[in-house]
A and B are shown apart, each in its own frame.
Chain A
């Protein structure tokens, strides 16, 4: 996944109705790109066959 730009991040936030200052946008862009980059190694894992459920020690008691 290619890097997001500050313009793209600002537009995404605006689309969600989230008020962000220019300073916010700059830091949020760093944070978001860092998170996406940190999770890139996961693409090498056999994830397609895994159900994305949290998994618990036992069934919820409800």
Chain B
């Protein structure tokens, strides 16, 4: 496609909303652009499980009519988006990426979906994920999701489709869910921006659970501004999620351009220059810190001694929660799970109580360690992932020894689970590419409910670099 329609697909959510409001872009036209691209590119990338083409076009026609009659328009009016197939959608099947729920059609929308629709968004469809948002799926029931930068490589998970679809221009923005990195990992591997909000900032109502104390819906988009716009639409207390916060939601757009001058940023030594971090990742992330310094931030290397254990602590806690959620199906429908999911859940079901209790106590110490660091710094900085996207084949092999478990499950999670275990907001944003052309991502972690500072720093960095404009090969 070289007629400029690809450019429309990569405009971004806030730009599309502006053009629609100014009657310079038709919601029907932009929806057709995405649907055509999905039809053409997604048979290879497999980011979607269900495409709601007819419903999307109907919604786009209604959106266009509203514009033409001068109706009041929501902030995302006419913006085509897609959501991880973990969120309930009224009348549209919600599979959680599992054969167990392949015919499940919810009767109502999740709160996040209702809010995105209320903001004027146009739902294009439901996005692929690792089964039940767990990670470690070996055979995806609805097709193997592939990284748009190199289809032989992992797109990250669990919100795999949410990262792919944004990166490949198959939607303007997407919603994922982050229990222990499930928004930030695909954002990292696919070269887009992904935000895990503070736990409690966004309602979990209507989202299939994994771990009650860590599950957090979060947006993915090509720019920080778009992520902020989606967060604005979904954030805030929900009476149907009793653990959602009543903390007021600020207007993120107001402070997005405030820059980083005067901010204090702690560079987490163990995760940035530690032995597990790939040299190309280390170099790019340190470059990002230097760039933030030149923009006016004060940076300092700090230590989080428990961070390297965070992945294992997380799996002892979140997986055990997941085993509880799945206990009935594990007993009655074990064969219907993907092998990797089933074995992970079976393992979790057998974790000794003393081990789980120890992990729960260590979580408190880790949280205190991070809290002390954030008392001295406005933000913490580290890589989002210790390595670029690995080959898909590396994640699909059968585990034949315990040494493989640490490498495949604990190490990489230690980069994203500190924020999850502490309930903190964290953003993943592109900060470079490897020599082989795979994205690298830097992570900024903020204080509770201070998404505004996280977004502001990320926006300043993004504007000072040119990573955002890049498109994966073959997506024009």
Contacts and interface: CB of A to CB of B under 8 A. Distances in A.
Interface of A: 1, 9, 12-13, 16-20, 23-24, 27-28, 30-39, 41-43, 45, 47, 50-58, 60-62
B325 interface: no
B361 A36 contact: no
B242 A33 contact: no
A23 B406 CA distance: 20
B362 A30 contact: no
A17 B331 contact: yes
A34 B245 contact: no
Interface size, B (range): 35 or more
A34 B246 contact: no
A30 B358 contact: no
B346 A13 contact: yes
A54 B363 contact: yes
Given A27-B399, A55-B423, A57-B449, A62 B357 contact: no
B275 interface: no
B367 to A, nearest CB: 5
A8 to B, nearest CB: 10
Nearest to A62: B242
Contact of B200 (A32, A39, A58): A58
Contacts of B24: none
B40 interface: no
A35 B405 contact: yes
A1 B352 contact: yes
Contact of B402 (A17, A30, A61): A30
Given A9-B350, A13-B350, A30-B401, A62 B365 contact: no
B295 interface: no
A61 B334 contact: no
Interface string B401-428: 1111110011000000000001110000
